[in-house]
Amino acid sequence: MISRSKRRSRRLLAGVFGFALVAAACGSSDDSPSAADAPAETVAEAPADTTAEAPADTTAEAPADTTAEAPADTTAAPSGEATGEPFRVGVQNLEGDPNGSFPEFSIAMQAAAKYVNAELGGLNGRPIEIVLCKSIVSPDDSQRCANELSADGVDLAISTINFFGNHYAIYQGSNIPVLAVTPITIADFTSPGVFAIGAGGGCLGVHTGLIEFATNQIEGLEGIDVQKVAVPWADTPPGVVCYNDLEAKPLDVLNGSEPGAAVRAGSKPGLTHIGVPVAPALPDATPQATEVLDFAADVIVFSGQGADCWNLVDALGRLGWTSEQTPLVLSGACTDFTAMKAAGDLAKGIYITGTENGILAPLDGLEGQQLDNATTYQTKGLEYGMSQDDIFKGFAGQGFSAIMSIWELSQTIDGDVTGQALADAYAGTDGSAPSFGNSPLNCNSAPAPYVSVCGSSISMGQWDGEKIVTVVDRLNGLDLVAGTALRPGPK
């Protein structure tokens, strides 16, 4: 008998090998996919609002043509079309607001749902139906969407990116499990019934990983002893939380001024650090760069939206900084190949976090599961309605991966796939099974108070002027904050 995991792998790979036909079908961006009709969609519009800051954007530029052909295969892919009762996935997404609009999330989820329904048999025969509620950056509108989707009786909800976290209680009251695709707030990490599946644990995995790398692994790579860390940080509502709870706090755990149970707690009693707020879209970051350099740090850490990262790098460079002088470690949100190449020698040697098993990388050079997942995403995404521009946006990759994660977990369920059955499947993940476009999910071992976190591993790469070269395959800084008191604001 073939095991479920083998059947799952074979069915997923069967879709990959149709790439030669996909490439021919992608000549016109306005062609509709012929394999299946789009699932039904409900869209709730909302008026624009200008009262809040936008989050750091993880949109990443990519080389002009990275969808290389996969080897031809003579075995026809199974149709696998789902024809049962729809499984309704409510998607709460920010769209149409200048302070935060990410339509690529919903575009990618629709494409993934069409692919799963047409070729992978849906969720044990149940086709996925995306029920989209468009929201603006407003606490009231956050709750409006949750109320509407709950009243609509969706089986499961997906929260793409949310500044407030005030919508979870509404879903909990309706017994609707929620996947947090890009967790950035305390509520994303600590709410029962929520599964934060975002690659690298979102803000939690990336920011604690930045601190772990900057105070540990980098010492061997650079031959330095890190005792001073400068942390410029994105001065947005999510940025305040991410800096105070997931950067400043773990640094204090390391120097012993904050109680912690980590193995490395108190291991650097002389460690000092400085935080420098960087407002979004600053025309000139020279004052912030000056403050950073005046601290004479051993390493600099920053996470922000792409343009802000490279504005800061430019300002640092004009003041005489080089990566040889002081290593700079950036989050993946800063990834922008165009800006990095434009920075020339100034950008060489900069470290950048990555996603284990990431699906945005050029196919050349990938292997194993990562090649399979990236090929599926970059080909099936195009075939089922995504544009080439959409494909290489970080949030689009997260959206597609979220739907594929639901499909993967459905393969472990015997019988009818329900919202509760999927919630039980997520709760039982233990890090032993691969996850599409992500490190293996391990919701079962989420540490208090971060009980919603299903994964926090990241990778680390270094820019060589043309590409990002992986220097650490997997690292994890979650233990630096596990068991600590939440610290969403200044100490």
Residue 218: pLDDT over 70 = yes
Tokens 């403050």 map to which residue?
291
Within a domain: 489:
no
User: Do residues 390 and 344 share a domain?
Assistant: no
Residues 97-103, mean pLDDT to the nearest whole number: 86
β-pairing, 468-475 vs 458-463, is antiparallel
The yes-or-no verdict on residue 118 having pLDDT over 80 is yes
CA distance 445 to 453: 9
**pLDDT classification of 438: cutoffs 50, 70, 90:** confident
Number of domains in the chain: 2
The answer to whether residues 162 and 215 belong to one domain is no
- Is residue 73 in some structural domain? yes
Predicted TM-score (pTM) of the model is: 0.75
- The CATH number of whichever domain residue 25 belongs to comes to 3.40.50.2300
Per-chain mean pLDDT for the chain: 84
**Which residues lie closer than 8 Å to 310 by C-beta, 6 or more apart?**
334, 336, 339, 340, 342, 343
pLDDT of residue 355: 79
Residues 421 and 474 in one domain: no
Q: Name which of 361, 246, 227 is nearest 303 in CA terms.
A: 246
- In whole angstroms, what is the distance from residue 355 CA to residue 332 CA? 8
In a shared domain, residues 183 and 43: yes
Mean pLDDT value across residues 428-444: 91
Q: What is the side-by-side order of every strand in the sheet holding 272-278?
A: 272-278, 228-234, 299-302, 328-330, 351-354, 458-463, 468-475
Q: Are residues 350 and 432 in the same domain?
A: no
| Domain ranges, residue 20 | 4-202+357-457
What pLDDT is attached to residue 185?
Answer: 87
Would residue 490 count as lying in a domain?
Answer: no
62 pLDDT higher than 60? no
Give the span between the Cα atoms of 136 and 120, in whole angstroms. 34
User: Alpha-carbon torsion 81, 129, 439, 417, what sign?
Assistant: negative
Q: So what's the pLDDT on residue 441? A: 92
Nearest-10 Cα torsion for 398, 370, 327, 301: 20
Q: What is the pLDDT of residue 444?
A: 93
Per-residue tokens: 327: 């290593």
pLDDT at residue 200 is higher than 50: yes
Pairwise pLDDT comparison (213 vs 415), residue with the higher score = 213
Amino acid at 370: Q
Sign of CA dihedral 309, 196, 179, 151: negative
Note whether 194 and 146 are same-domain residues: yes
Q: Using CA atoms, how far apart are residues 92 and 144, in angstroms rounded to an integer?
A: 10
Identify whether 488 is part of a domain: no
What whole-number distance in Å separates Cα of residue 397 and Cα of residue 418?
Answer: 25
